[in-house]
Structure 1
Amino acid sequence: MSPLLQVTGLTKHFPVRHGLFGRRVGAVRAVDGVSFDVAEGESLGLVGESGCGKSTTGRLVARLMAPTSGGIRYGGRDLAAIGAREMAKIRPEIQMIFQDPYSSLNPRHTVGTIIEGPMEVNGIEPPGGRASRVRELLETVGLNPEHYNRFPHEFSGGQRQRIGIARALVTEPRLIVADEPVSALDVSIQAQVINLLRRVQDDLGVAFVFIAHDLAVVRHFCHRVAVMYLGRIVEVADRESIYTRPAHPYTHALLSAVPNPDPDGRNGREVIRLTGDVPSPVDPPSGCRFRTRCWKAQEVCAEREPELIDVGGSGHRAACHFPEVTAGPS
């Protein structure tokens, strides 16, 4: 069966201009040849450092911006090749949850108006009326239906994010792009929101592209994980393979930064401290983009870009000339 979402060679370059007449002198390669797929009802986590291109990838998938090149096939149609009118017909099926619950909700609108908005834009008339549907969704996300006439400033951050989730669900989407949906929340509230999203996925069968930098959150929510570095995916696998048998040195470094509950360091990972800064996406290194910070880099890493190839079966792939793990568990 074909995947619900299939991204191939996705690229987004932002022009760099200089001088009085805005002459183009280069481009920021925010996303540079990203490929992945998401099955119906599956959750794929996109992780990496700030500036790696994961949020831009999410916005491209949701068609909030147009790609420079590449394909975004959703339900058999290439979203990168269709116009705004055709995209408007598909828009209800692809929704987005934004990172900041304080800026993503209009402070002048009531909760009811905010959640009804997508229904009004897409001409959706649910049985029983829009107001009834909104109250039903408020209950689904753990809020009181009586909150219908309240304004965003009357809610906490966690409650605002629940409103954002209700807004994303109102069109009954098949795919939700969640752009760091819990990073702006307190740790105690993060667990509540993640559990809510898991329940939504279990009950409604919604597929997720879940963008985050917190690996613990991704492990709790996602079926598969794709690790991004400087605009490209360097490793992708199911969550257990990523966390127990990481193949790419960058993935090792990310995992070593996760706090270890063992204070004496027993049974924990070796802490890897990367040297140097992330290279500029305007002028990325030749060959492997991670080589300038990698302790395993050799001459071939500068000469030839590694391909994303199978390193351990079961769809575990890594873009590294010297992957650290090549065999599955015994």
Structure 2
Amino acid sequence: MSENVTLPQQQGAKQQQGEPLLKVEGLQKHFPIYGGFPFKRQVGAVKAVDGVDLTMYPGESLGLVGESGCGKSTTGRLITRLLEPTGGTIEYAGQDITHAKRKQLAPIRSEIQMIFQDPYSSLNPRQTVGTIIKSPMEVNGINPPGGRENRVRELLETVGLNPEHYNRFPHEFSGGQRQRIGVARALALQPKLIVADEPVSALDVSIQAQVVNLLQKVQEEMGIAFLFIAHDLAVVRHFSQRVAVMYLGKVMEVADRDSLYNRPRHPYTHALLSAVPEATVDGSQRERIRLAGDVPSPINPPTGCRFRTRCWKAQEKCATDEPPLVQLSGSTEGHLTACHFPEEPTIKGGKEVVLDPALASLESDSK
């Protein structure tokens, strides 16, 4: 098991030596709120995404986690340019696509694909599976060797479906099978980057594992970079090499998987991890951190650190100065945190205590 877990990280380390595939800086998306009578005017804005910085390298998987409503899905749609950004920049393969027009985006549309959250509403019920998967090739004028139909049948086999299902309709498939069809459609153009927007949240637990393993297989065999959006930290840990934690439109912490799950520096990350169910040999339970209050409104977010209204470590500085996303002293390379008063590793009996015993054992096995 340790080989299956550590292999993706080793690959990611090699890939990060090159140029980034995707670079997002200060990304914003504000949805205007209109009011007034008889003439409507803008009276505010929902700051769904408000200054997100992310970097992805070819072939790596980056998990994007956080509570519902924190801006994860909106960030994914901005990166794929399904939404127009309010501010910030999006660079793909060194090209600025932040406000690129339709003709400018056309050449790279095939390289950035998306897997949608709901496998029931993301497939056209009036089209056959063959037509659904073939459509991207038709739109982009791609004629693969052997023809489009042959390519679709190959993709169905790749995602674990029977090629003979080519002429079936979506309603004839289960939820897990429909999501596999969505994966096949995303792979049809041989993309370099796939944004997977909570691809398993609508599926049963047993089916979730099948789909996640399928995505992992696709990534390793085809070298596709994945932005894996989810709120299930256990699923993200299994799939992602690096993890970014979002809260109220901002990234609070970014680190490689083992570093973030073992030694979280931001209090919000610590609280999220404390809520993950944990099975131990002696039956002991991890101490649960219960956050006070509700998530503030994105219409009027708190000043300074956005997490301060629910943080047990908040001080006056947190209300006046917004903490930058930087590498703190004592953190591993590439572990970035936005906090004035970060969490410190817990020491008991002269040894550092990590939050995830399973990952700790994997680390000791790999040494």
Place the TM-score, normalised by the shorter chain, in its bin.
over 0.9
1:86 aligned residue: 104
**Per-residue deviation, 1:314:** 1.3
Partners in 1 of 2:207 and 2:333 — Cα distance?
A: 34
Partners in 2 of 1:25 and 1:265 — Cα distance?
A: 53
Partners in 2 of 1:81 and 1:285 — Cα distance?
A: 29
2:257 aligned residue: 239
Q: Deviations over 1:189-227 (max 9, x none)?
A: 000000000000000000011000000000000000000
2:339 pairs with one of 305, 320, 329: 320
Number of residue pairs the alignment of both structures matches: 329
1:130 aligned residue: 148
**Per-residue deviation, 1:325:** 2.8
Identical amino acids, percent of aligned pairs: 71
Structure 2 portions without partners, runs of 5+: 1-17, 353-367
Partner SS state of residue 110, structure 2: helix
Please show how residues 204-219 of structure 1 align to structure 2 within 5 Å. Answer: 204-219=222-237
2:36 pairs with one of 19, 35, 55: 19
Partner SS state of residue 30, structure 1: strand
Partners in 2 of 1:220 and 1:17 — Cα distance?
A: 43
2:319 pairs with one of 302, 306, 325: 302
2:304 aligned residue: 287
2:364 aligned residue: none
8 Å CA contact 2:84, 2:99 repeated in 1: no
Answering whether residue 267 of structure 2 is matched by residue 249 of structure 1, we say yes
8 Å CA contact 2:259, 2:332 repeated in 1: no
Partners in 2 of 1:5 and 1:271 — Cα distance?
A: 36
Structure 1 portions without partners, runs of 5+: none
Partners in 2 of 1:212 and 1:259 — Cα distance?
A: 16
2:123 aligned residue: 105
Partner SS state of residue 238, structure 2: helix
- Report the AA paired with residue 332 of structure 2: G
Please show how residues 145-184 of structure 1 align to structure 2 within 5 Å. Answer: 145-184=163-202
Q: Deviations over 1:263-322 (max 9, x none)?
A: 9652x4310111111000010001110000000111111111111110203100110001
Please show how residues 177-192 of structure 1 align to structure 2 within 5 Å. Answer: 177-192=195-210
8 Å CA contact 2:85, 2:99 repeated in 1: no
- Report the AA paired with residue 272 of structure 1: I
Partners in 2 of 1:115 and 1:306 — Cα distance?
A: 45
* TM-score, normalised via structure 2 length: 0.87
Partner SS state of residue 233, structure 1: strand
**Per-residue deviation, 1:81:** 3.1
* TM-score, normalised via structure 1 length: 0.97
- Report the AA paired with residue 297 of structure 1: A
8 Å CA contact 2:28, 2:52 repeated in 1: yes
1:40 aligned residue: 58
Q: Deviations over 1:71-99 (max 9, x none)?
A: 11001101113211110111000000000
2:93 aligned residue: 75
